[in-house]
Structure 1
Amino acid sequence: MLSVKDLNLYYGSIHALKGINLEIREGEIVTLIGANGAGKTSTLRTLSGLEAPESGEIFFGARSLKAAAAHKLPSLGMAHVPEGRRVFSSMTVMENLELGAYARKDKAKLKTDYDYVFEKFPRLKERRKQLAGTLSGGEQQMLAIGRAMMTQPKLLLLDEPSMGLAPIVVQEIFNIIKQINEAGTTILLVEQNANLALSIADRAYVLETGRIVLEGNAQELLKDEKVKEAYLG
């Protein structure tokens, strides 16, 4: 579904991504784990067109994304839930969801998809007329995911969905991430909580200072002594 070959990204003189290679197959949950500054968020931002790589290839299916503008990617089937949620705080919950669907042509199916989001996140239904900026952190994360789901993504990029949230809310959100995947959406997950990320993923890549240093089956990496020592505490 997604193929990345020899991806290099610079911020000025800083070489942030150093020859990244990764593959994501349809139906998987793949996670990127690593310390702060390892390049996880930079990888997602480059895949979704928010950063321009110095070199390398990104293929989404058979299509090269090298020249694709970020705002075109949702209509191709890729949605990005950014770090920090980035909801439109002065707009209502419903208006945020409507923005997720702004480019869709199949208006007849919108009600079905709003109902799907409200089924997954009942609190959003209760608060659909409330300003997004007044929601709790967990509710804003639910809204950010719901807004992305309104684009009908084939591939969902999730950047740090657990950040700043209480453990009980994190567990709820990760349960829903699994349900979204089981319903047919492929997921690329960046997550500081490596234990949790590996527990729901099929495969994983470990990043260190902009390089992939390890990859493999997520359950096997959970048992790997080096991974345990470096990332699992």
Structure 2
Amino acid sequence: MLTVEGLEVYYGSIHAIKNISFEVNEGEIVTLIGANGAGKTTTLHAVCGLVKAADGGIHFCGTDLRAIAPYKILGLGLAQVPEGRRVFAKMTVQENLEMGAYIRRDKDQVEKDFQRVLERLPRLAERRKQLAGTLSGGEQQMLAIGRALMGNPRMLLLDEPSMGLSPLLVEEIFRIIEDVNRSGVTVLLVEQNAKKALEIADRAYVLETGSIAMSGAAAELANDEKVRKAYLGG
């Protein structure tokens, strides 16, 4: 579904991403884990066209994403939930969700998807008319996910969804991610909480200083001694 081959990204003279290749198959949850500065977010930004790749191939369902303007990528069925939520603080919850469907023209289905998002995320339904900037961090993360779902994506890219949240809210966010995946949405998850990411993922890639150091089934990596020592605190 998503194929990245030989990706290279530079920030000026800094070689941020070094010849990495990975794939995400339809229906999977695939996670990229690694320490701060490993290149996880840069990889997502390259996929979405938010940073320019110096070399390599990025294909989604057969389409060359490097040849597509970033604002057109959502129309292909690829949506990102950015690091730090990035909700529209001075707009209501409902207005934020409506913005997620901005490019869609199927109004009847948009309304059905709106109701479905509120059913999946009942806390948003309770705060439908509330300004997004007044929500808690966990509620803003739910809103960011709901907004992305309003684009009716085939694949969701999530960037550090558990960052800054309490353990209880982390559990809830990961439950939501699993529920979204069960509904038929493929997930590429960037996450510093390697333990939780490996618990819900099918496969994982470990990034170290811009390169893929390890890859494999998530359950196998969770039991790997090197991964446990480096990322799982054991």
Which interval holds the TM-score relative to the shorter structure? Answer: over 0.9
1:89 aligned residue: 89
Please state whether the residue corresponding to 1:142 is helix, strand or coil: helix
TM-superposed CA distance for 1:105, in Å, is 1.6
Q: Following the alignment from structure 2 to structure 1, what is the Cα–Cα distance between the partners of residues 69 and 86?
A: 19
Residue pairs, 1:120-199, within 5 angstroms:
120-199=120-199
Instruction: Give 2:108's aligned residue.
Output: 108
Between 1:51-60 and 1:63-72, the stretch displaced more is 63-72
| TM-score where L is the length of structure 2 | 0.99
The aligned residue for residue 35 of structure 2 is 35
Is it true that 1:206 corresponds to 2:206 in the alignment?
yes
Cα distance in structure 2, aligned partners of 1:123 and 1:34 = 31
Distance (whole Å) between structure 2 residues aligned to residue 134 and residue 218 of structure 1: 36
In structure 1, distance between residues paired with 2:70 and 2:92: 24
Mapped to 1, the partners of 2:88 and 2:125 lie a distance apart of 17
Residue 232 of structure 1: aligned partner: 232
The CA distance in 2 between the partners of 1:192 and 1:66, in whole Å, is 27
- Give the letter for the 1:210 counterpart: G
1: CA distance, partners of 2:84 / 2:206: 22
Amino acid at match of 1:168: L
Unaligned segments of structure 1, at least 5 residues? none
Partner of 2:4: 4
| Alignment partners' CA distance in 2, 1:128 and 1:22 | 38
Cα distance in 2, alignment partners of residues 50 and 227 from structure 1: 30
The letter of the residue matching 1:61 is C
Q: Write the mapping of 1:46-85 to structure 2, written as runs, cut at 5 A.
A: 46-85=46-85
Q: State the alpha-carbon separation in 2 of the partners of residues 193 and 172 from structure 1.
A: 14
Q: Identify the residue that residue 223 of structure 2 maps to in structure 1.
A: 223
CA distance in 2, matches of 1:104, 1:5: 31
User: Alignment partner of 2:73: what SS?
Assistant: helix
CA–CA separation in structure 1 for the residues paired with 2:110 and 2:35: 39
Q: For residues 150 and 49 of structure 2, what CA distance do their matches in structure 1 show? A: 19
Shift of residue 112 of structure 1? 1.1
Moved over 3 A (4+): none
Q: CA deviation at 1:164?
A: 0.3
Identical-residue share of aligned pairs (%): 64
Shift of residue 115 of structure 1?
1.1
Distance 2:229 2:46 in 1: 29
Deviation at 1:209, TM superposition (A): 0.2
* Structure 2: gaps (5+ residues): none
Name the aligned partner's letter for residue 182 of structure 1: R
- Aligned equivalents of 1:209, 1:116: Cα separation in 2: 40
Between the aligned partners of 1:70 and 1:34, the Cα distance in structure 2 is 26
- What letter matches 1:9 in structure 2? V
What's the CA shift for 1:66? 1.0
Q: Secondary structure at the match of 1:195?
A: helix
Once superposed, what is the RMSD of the aligned Cα atoms?
0.6
